[in-house]
Structure 1
Amino acid sequence: MASPHDLTFQEFEEAADLLSSDPGASTLSISSPGAAASSADVRVDLSEDEDSRQESSELLGGEKQTGGFWTFEYYQSFFNVDTMQVLDRIKGSVIPLPGRNFVKHHIRNNPDLYGPFWICVTLVFSVAISGDLYTFLIRMGDPGYHYRPQFNRVSIAAVTVFLYAWLVPLGVWGFLTWRQSVERHISGYTFLETVCVYGYSLFIYIPASILWMIPVYWLEWLLIVVAMVISGSVLVMTFWPAIRDDTKLTAFATMAVIVSLHALLAVGFKVRETLQRTIPSQIHLKRNHTQL
């Protein structure tokens, strides 16, 4: 049976004699082996946790690992959407709901140029073709009328739509960026998000321009007003949260400019189409009057 003295730590004289004879000898302390091991384990665990937190933050933040602007992957990220996402964004631009920010509820850190590009292309051809078909329908029974497609309408509509879809978002994005540098509490959007919002907001003008072929004057302007209200609501509910913390004068003036430019685009289309439809008819009437 072991005595109490056998269970206590004892100092060995041989180890003391070795140290006194060779002070430079390397020694290994095993007094607390668990302490060193636990400290090493803590260091490893912390590094692994830090890596996992960094990876999770990148996923939650929606950061995209893309190359430089000279690589194909850089531009591929601008078109990284599927059909369901495009349809959801089109639906959000046609049916704007109060309190639903288009960027936060539909874009979700993944803006694209695919939808806005094809919306602008379709709008160009719908505006140009509807104008030609309208002229053809109202003068179809005129024996002196010979249909000639007016391709200049396509070029004019393309320049107008694409300049609006790029220059106006560029101006809005630049202004919001400047206000962020002046007022730190003001939020903003990236240039790609701004272009995406403006591109999808133009979708409602496609069915409206197709219905312009109906030769009813009051219906044409009713369609214009409805399209302006719907598309303008998307812009207001998107950009108002970004500038509402600014001064009241700046906030309301900015929204007035955004809505006015958007309304000017639709009214400009309608006025131009009206002039193109009226002038040929007046010329034709003058020729008939001269012949008589």
Structure 2
Amino acid sequence: MASANDPFQFKEFEEAGSLLEANRDAVTISIQDEDVKSDKQRKAGANGYEEDPLTDDDSTQLLSGQKESAPFWTFEYYQKFFDVETHHVKERIIGSVLPWPGKNFIHVYLRRNPDLYGPFWICTTLVFAIAISGNISNFLVHLGKPNYKYTPEFQKVTIAATAIFSYAWLVPLALWGFLLWRGNKIMNLVSYSFMEIVCVYGYSLAIYVPAVVIWILPFEWLRWFSVVVALCLSGSVLVMTFWPTVRDDHPKVMVATMAAIVTLNVLLAVGCKAYFFSKPEPDLPVTKSTPTAGIKIPST
């Protein structure tokens, strides 16, 4: 037994032992147990059972809604508009070709998820369809004429591309700015984003692709009939979609907006028909020149 004056005696342990003897129900904390517990927590987090939300910045930003979007001049901004399923594009094309009364194209088919994949390829297909069909139609009209020599008109591709893409981008831009301006004045108006308006205009041109192919046939009545049908279907999609945006506006503004939308659509269809598929001029009859008999002029 250690003496009372032993310098190597640990008095703290004796005091702790006396305290435990006095209260045996007390709970003790082991530093080693805390270390083991911390190590287990780290392992559990590594295995996926428990994870600190601050370790993943992207997940935290997505869950909190604070993830920064890319600027509109970068490819990353437009990448999301080309991420669309094939069946969605198919449904939107069918919905634009066969509009149903009372169905808003944006609410039924876009569902706040517009895409640029469908409008881009529809416009591109329409450009080449107009240029190729115009060349074929011109060839068929002048086929068999002795003095006709076929030369492909490649400038029609440039003219068609300028007309189609200007209509599909500049008109939605002007309409979006106008609706935004009216929405700031009247708070209860329905508003659409710029990409939604571009998407509607792009898909509304899908009906013109088969109509342009029909224009190859050299029958004016058939061409104008297809123009009227395409105008009715395409105009119906635009009117039913943008009617809610101006329905509660001033009557004059409402009529002027709807008239401008329909008029621009008519100008595009009629302009393409008149320029690329104009009616050929009738051939002038060839007159044979008869030699005139010599007339003697009396000399004075």
Q: TM-score range by the shorter chain?
A: 0.7 to 0.9
Partner of residue 289, structure 1: 286
Partner of residue 46, structure 2: none
**CA–CA separation in structure 1 for the residues paired with 2:274 and 2:139:** 18
CA offsets 1:200-250 (integer angstroms, 9 cap, x no match): 000100000000011111110000000000000000000001110111121
Question: Where in structure 1 are there 5+ consecutive unaligned residues?
Answer: 1-53
What is the identity, as a one-letter code, of the residue corresponding to 1:169? P
Taking structure 2 as the reference length, what is the TM-score of the superposition?
0.71
**CA–CA separation in structure 2 for the residues paired with 1:175 and 1:131:** 35
Does 2:239 align with 1:236?
A: yes
Query: Which structure 1 residue ranges, 4+ long, deviate > 4 Å from structure 2?
Result: 54-58
Q: What is the 5 A alignment of 1:158-173? A: 158-173=161-176
Does the C-alpha gap of structure 1 residues 291 and 179 become closer, same or farther in structure 2, counting only changes over 3 Å? farther
Larger Rg: 2
**CA–CA separation in structure 2 for the residues paired with 1:129 and 1:160:** 16
Does the C-alpha gap of structure 1 residues 64 and 80 become closer, same or farther in structure 2, counting only changes over 3 Å? farther
Partner of residue 119, structure 1: 122
Does the C-alpha gap of structure 1 residues 71 and 157 become closer, same or farther in structure 2, counting only changes over 3 Å? closer
Q: Which one of 81, 94, 97 corresponds to residue 94 of structure 1? A: 97
**CA–CA separation in structure 1 for the residues paired with 2:111 and 2:64:** 16
What is the identity, as a one-letter code, of the residue corresponding to 1:89? R
**CA–CA separation in structure 2 for the residues paired with 1:192 and 1:105:** 16
**CA–CA separation in structure 2 for the residues paired with 1:266 and 1:145:** 29
Residue range with higher mean Cα deviation, 72-81 or 88-97: 72-81
Does the C-alpha gap of structure 1 residues 139 and 97 become closer, same or farther in structure 2, counting only changes over 3 Å? same
RMSD: 2.2
Deviation, 1:255, is 0.4
CA offsets 1:10-38 (integer angstroms, 9 cap, x no match): xxxxxxxxxxxxxxxxxxxxxxxxxxxxx
Taking structure 1 as the reference length, what is the TM-score of the superposition?
0.73
What is the identity, as a one-letter code, of the residue corresponding to 2:143? M
SS of the residue corresponding to residue 286 of structure 2 reads: helix
Partner of residue 153, structure 1: 156
Residue range with higher mean Cα deviation, 66-75 or 127-136: 66-75
SS of the residue corresponding to residue 109 of structure 2 reads: helix
Percent of aligned pairs with the same amino acid: 54
SS of the residue corresponding to residue 140 of structure 1 reads: coil
**CA–CA separation in structure 2 for the residues paired with 1:236 and 1:226:** 15
What is the identity, as a one-letter code, of the residue corresponding to 2:220? Y
